[in-house]
Copies of this chain bind each other. A is one copy, B any other.
Amino acid sequence: MKYIFGVDIGGTTIKIGLFNEELEVISKTSIPTNVSDSGKYIASEITKKLETILEVNNVQNSEVIGVGLGIPGPVKNNFVEQCPNIKWNNLDVKEQFKKCLPNHYIIESGNDANVAALGELSVMGNEYSDIVLITLGTGVGGGVIIDGEIHEGNSGFGGEIGHIPLDEEYKFKCGCGNIGCIETVASANGLVRITNYHKDNDTRTILKDVTAKSIFEAAKDNDEFALEMVKRYTKKLVKLIATLSVVLDPCAYIIGGGVSQAGNILLEHIKNEYKENISFTKLKETKFYIAKLGNDAGIYGAAKLIKNKTR
């Protein structure tokens, strides 16, 4: 038997999965992220944990193909210039892990959003090779997969779709410093911002605490104001999707992140708004799915990074 490790490094937690060659998960675990001293202990602490996992699962080192790594910042050819979340600067990820891991391990890394997209791809049918994962959480993250591989871009900023300047209506300020980035309106926080913006001038509302979840729940109960907010929100989100369709033209979009828990009501709003707004008939055929893997997308995708290397 052959095995692959998928590791998803986050700012507070590192998730680790042991997979077989069919990318079925054998064991899942996590350790806290130690960011002290510029994150220099991260590689060795992961290595220690991997050894324990092998022991517990009765797997020999020689049976392991390699370790895939998702990293919470831009990655280009396994190089991280700046990753504030885990305090890495100008770090060659492959070199760093080679120092700790057995020689025969294949090591590959990628940006966590891109790696998550690869994870979602790994549980889709073989007919899909060009997809975009759109993660609707605090911000809007993106992972672009072309021909089954991550599109990193020239400097690792491929798929940083949250910062497309698509809003000129609300003009909210983005964390990046700009005004009108799509994530200011199309993230979970964006839905809350839009709702708060309209709430005070509206007498209909029954919403008490405004969260993405409460808005979608009220919308499901046919609350008129909440439904209008969901519509306004979806309009913004579909602007982003329409943009990606005329640049990348993927075969499918996978919607992930907290907002995606709204499920079918979100998906139906997106599909309807998209069909209405995209003017090219052929593009109306693009598929939409809710992400399947949730927080595990990272470890699946990290393992897939290694599997792709063995094709």
Interface membership of A259, Cβ < 8 A: no
Could you give, for residues 137-161 of chain A, a 1 whenever the CB lies within 8 Å of some chain B CB and a 0 otherwise?
0000010101000011111111111
Is B250's CB under 8 angstroms from A247's CB?
no
How far apart sit A149 and B130, CA to CA, in the bound complex (Å)?
Answer: 15
How far apart sit A306 and B52, CA to CA, in the bound complex (Å)?
Answer: 53
Is A74's CB under 8 angstroms from B282's CB?
yes
**Which single member of B165, B168, B176, B249 contacts A280 (CB below 8 Å)?**
B176
Task: Jot down 29 A-B pairs with beta carbons below 8 A, ordered by A.
Answer: A142-B247, A146-B151, A151-B248, A152-B249, A154-B249, A154-B250, A154-B286, A155-B249, A155-B282, A155-B283, A155-B285, A157-B245, A157-B249, A157-B282, A159-B247, A160-B247, A163-B242, A164-B247, A165-B239, A165-B243, A168-B169, A174-B279, A176-B280, A178-B277, A178-B279, A243-B247, A244-B247, A247-B248, A248-B248
How far apart sit A239 and B161, CA to CA, in the bound complex (Å)?
Answer: 13
Q: How far is the CB of A280 from chain B (nearest CB, A)?
A: 6
- The majority secondary structure among interface residues of chain A is loop
Which B residues lie within 8 Å of A153 (CB)?
130, 248-250
Which B residues lie within 8 Å of A157 (CB)?
245-246, 249, 280, 282-283
How far apart sit A151 and B249, CA to CA, in the bound complex (Å)?
Answer: 9
Interface membership of A53, Cβ < 8 A: no
Could you give, for residues 59-100 of chain A, a 1 whenever the CB lies within 8 Å of some chain B CB and a 0 otherwise?
000000000000000100000010000000000000000000
Is B165's CB under 8 angstroms from A166's CB?
yes
Which B residues lie within 8 Å of A130 (CB)?
153-154
